[in-house]
Amino acid sequence: MESDNKGEFNMEKRDLLYEGKAKILYLTEDTDLLIQMFKDELTAFNGTKKGSFDGKGEICNAISTYLFEYLENYHVLTHFVSKSTDTEMVVKRLEMIPIEIVVRNIATANLSKTYNLAEGDVLQYPIIEYFLKDDQLGDPMINEHHAYAMGYATPEEMRMISRVASKVNAIFKSFFDRRGLLLVDFKLEFGKLAKNLLIGDEITPDTCRIWDKKTNKKMDKDRFRYDMGQVDKVYNELKDRILSAG
Ligand code: ATP
Ligand code: TYD
């Protein structure tokens, strides 16, 4: 779709700001805005396992766009401005807080292993976990006191982050439920803009665990992590179900 340097939103793409494992951020003609481009690559286990499939970037851009726009309806602030091409969105440039916020509703993976919970056990209350975003350290788990002590976020910011993450969880749980899907867990990143905290980064099957409610079929990056096959087919199916009216 992209015939020149400009997307449908007519925002000129300038220098590359940052290339990560799944996305590229570009500067634009407007210093407050970035273009976030979704790559076809996917990685797992701290980047040690790598793969890709055609159309993955397009699917993740479509899903993220839909979910960010959905959150706007509930007055949740996000960096999303506009979908500009099939694989790109215009976002507000944030000063990112280097903490990954994970919300879990259902036991699986490390949570099951660590606390001896059966895979699929519904938690009596959602769990919020924090991880320091540092690939060299292997993204260690932290609590809010680590975050204040090391200067990554203030107590007020951590309180706000936890409040917004709980609200997003409540919104998405019923959103996915209406589509016959279970929101098992998901990750958010926050960044600062002036005095506000906004959700940044992406909300996609790379960063969530989503199961079919009837069959418990995994419809997320676990299919890639654990070589379960049909990654592209399942990502496409998930996109169709998310974008359906519900
Ligand atoms: P990881 O996969 O562990 O998140 P990564 O750096 O490889 O690491 P990518 O998703 O490929 O991740 O890269 C996107 C980067 O852009 C992330 O570091 C993310 O924190 C950052 N980012 C996301 N949204 C914004 C924003 N609005 N402003 C500035 N930086 C952002
Ligand atoms: P994670 O905390 O890695 O737990 P586990 O070891 O049990 O797999 O993942 C929980 C959820 O959060 C999962 O949906 C993936 C997402 N997540 C990310 O997308 N990126 C991250 O860096 C982290 C820590 C989690």
The verdict on residue 200 lying in a domain is yes
Same domain, 122 and 218: yes
- Closest residue CA from atom 15 of ligand 2: 207
The verdict on residue 245 lying in a domain is no
CATH number of the domain residue 106 falls in? 3.30.470.20
Q: Establish whether residue 102 lines the binding site of ligand 2, counting it when its CB lies within 6 angstroms of any ligand atom.
A: yes
pLDDT in tens, 66-102: 999 999 999 999 999 999 999 999 999 999 999 999 9
- Closest residue CA from atom 15 of ligand 1: 20
Q: Which of residues 92, 113, 131 is at a domain's end?
A: 92
Which is the closest atom of ligand 2 to the Cα of 225? 8
Same domain, 100 and 207: yes
Same domain, 108 and 220: yes
Ligand nearest to the CA of 207: 2
Question: CA angle, corner 95, sides to 89 and 101, nearest 5?
Answer: 80
- Closest residue CA from atom 2 of ligand 1: 21
Same domain, 104 and 221: yes
The verdict on residue 240 lying in a domain is no
The verdict on residue 237 lying in a domain is no
The verdict on residue 241 lying in a domain is no
pLDDT at 1: 37
Instruction: Give a three-class secondary structure readout of the chain.
Output: CCCCCECCCCCEEEEEEEECCCEEEEEECCCCEEEEEECCEEEECCCCEEEECCCHHHHHHHHHHHHHHHHHHCCCCECEEEEEECCEEEEECCEECCEEEEEEEECCHHHHHHHCCCCCCEEEEEEEEEEECCHHHCCCEECHHHHHHCCCCCHHHHHHHHHHHHHHHHHHHHHHHCCCEEEEEEEECEEEECCEEEECCCCCCCCEEEEECCCCCECCCHHHHCCCCCHHHHHHHHHHHHHCCC
Distance CA 104, CA 232 (A): 25
- Domain assignment of residue 152, given as a range: 95-230
Ligand nearest to the CA of 198: 1
Band (245; pLDDT cuts 50, 70, 90): confident
The verdict on residue 243 lying in a domain is no
The verdict on residue 82 lying in a domain is yes
Q: Establish whether residue 201 lines the binding site of ligand 1, counting it when its CB lies within 6 angstroms of any ligand atom.
A: yes
Same domain, 52 and 87: yes
Same domain, 204 and 166: yes
Number of domains in the chain: 2
The verdict on residue 238 lying in a domain is no
Q: What's the mean pLDDT when you consider all of the chain?
A: 95
Ligand nearest to the CA of 89: 1
pLDDT in tens, 176-194: 999 999 999 999 999 999 9
Q: Establish whether residue 110 lines the binding site of ligand 2, counting it when its CB lies within 6 angstroms of any ligand atom.
A: yes
CATH number of the domain residue 36 falls in? 3.30.200.20
Quick check: 5 pLDDT over 80?
no
Same domain, 220 and 111: yes
Distance CA 38, CA 21 (A): 10
Same domain, 24 and 103: no
Same domain, 88 and 115: no
Distance CA 69, CA 44 (A): 27
Same domain, 71 and 145: no
Same domain, 31 and 66: yes
pTM across the whole model? 0.95
pLDDT in tens, 110-125: 999 999 999 999 999 9
pLDDT in tens, 181-235: 999 999 999 999 999 999 999 999 999 999 999 999 999 999 999 999 999 999 9
Same domain, 73 and 110: no
